[in-house]
Structure 1
């Protein structure tokens, strides 16, 4: 994966030019209530829904940059994203038991980075995230991943459901890591083409996604606390896959 410098750009015209130059923009912050011809032009450029846009108070923008941001700040991703179709096709052509990881709106950039690091160690072929609602790829993500982010393909999709449909159409079984089941991961068969779904730190996997998966599995919880940190849970699941496949 191509490594690029983590960059924050600001100013409406600068962000418009970045879009026109096909920069990999991870997130755009727009001041609430902003109006004018240039902001209308920016809204037209981002109307496709391809961009992750948050409308925020001016105080948020002032914390992100020091300077005349004109109400618009954007973060350019330090990595280039891969194509779902191309990556799945390429992986299936060389691997009879591929392993994909689908992240349903992981919020915390450090959790995201830790998951990427573990995924690379466990031989995950690609990580799929939604274009909107998930943690952005930041310098903290890169640091926490210990460089693994540049060694494993990252894919953005409009919705995790899109990736699930594509996986299933490609004969890849989709398994959700969720407490909403009686099946333990230790009794789940991972010796086949697999896509593992991990959910949000607080809400878990959304119900609409859970309805689509082929199987569900959970970790046994022996203590009084009801859940693990998502990066820890992800590590437990991935290493059970590794154990079964060794």
Structure 2
């Protein structure tokens, strides 16, 4: 299974997000990377904040910072790797046999990913699969939308959503997916205590390489001619229905 060394960090970039991370005593900042071209008051603020926390600062070329940040326009020459204590590779996370796993598939809007992380964590979901490909990266926009929960969410990392559902099926998890046309309602369908749920993109739905692994389809009943919910809204309904059944 493809494992990245960054699977234990949430990387934030830009002067303000980095300073906010350094000023939050509840966060464990592993390191700051500052472009060797960064000078002046902005760079001094970052260096001083890192010094107060005892966080090492590495200098790198501006291009290297862009590559590490994954954002060529908004990094402002600085990034910070924040330790995410509950984030781990999928293979490691599944060893604890989480009861409920949420898999994000093709959700590219950072605001949606952030809101889903916040909602699923609040509902007590034990594993949220955020693939490195096909889903918005865990950047400052996701962190902001999650209200900071992204740092503490039970995130499971892997390469693709298809890899995740294949691994889950290999461990005998039933895999349910949300689809507005499904006959079974999320409120009345029989749901095992141990299951995985896939959320697809609002435009394309569940991706073609994930569909063969789906064992059941669920819908959220709609009224007044409303066709569907925003994916983050659908995630909230699903996650708290799972939580309600456990109560």
- Please report the TM-score for the alignment, with normalisation by the length of structure 2: 0.68
Query: How many Å separate the matches in 2 of 1:224 and 1:26?
Result: 43
**1:57 maps to which residue?**
none
Q: Does 1:89 align with 2:90?
A: no
Cα-Cα RMSD: 3.0
Query: How many Å separate the matches in 2 of 1:142 and 1:66?
Result: 17
Contact 1:191 1:244 in 2 (8 A): no
Structure 1 residue matching 2:187: 3-state secondary structure: helix
Query: How many Å separate the matches in 2 of 1:138 and 1:180?
Result: 33
Query: Displacement, 1:110?
Result: 1.3
1:196-232 deviation digits (Å, cap 9, x = unpaired): 1001122221233223211110011112231111111
Query: How many Å separate the matches in 2 of 1:78 and 1:7?
Result: 11
Query: How many Å separate the matches in 2 of 1:213 and 1:188?
Result: 15
Q: Call closer, same or farther: CA 1:156–1:206 in 2, change over 3 Å.
A: same
Query: How many Å separate the matches in 2 of 1:167 and 1:144?
Result: 28
Q: Does 1:124 align with 2:125?
A: yes
Gaps of 5+ in 2: 1-6, 15-33, 38-59
Gaps of 5+ in 1: 20-24, 30-60, 68-73
Q: Call closer, same or farther: CA 1:235–1:77 in 2, change over 3 Å.
A: farther
**1:207 maps to which residue?**
208
Contact 1:105 1:199 in 2 (8 A): yes
Q: Call closer, same or farther: CA 1:5–1:174 in 2, change over 3 Å.
A: closer
Query: How many Å separate the matches in 1 of 2:88 and 2:153?
Result: 10
Query: How many Å separate the matches in 1 of 2:162 and 2:199?
Result: 13
Query: How many Å separate the matches in 2 of 1:77 and 1:187?
Result: 43
**1:219 maps to which residue?**
220
Query: How many Å separate the matches in 1 of 2:190 and 2:104?
Result: 20
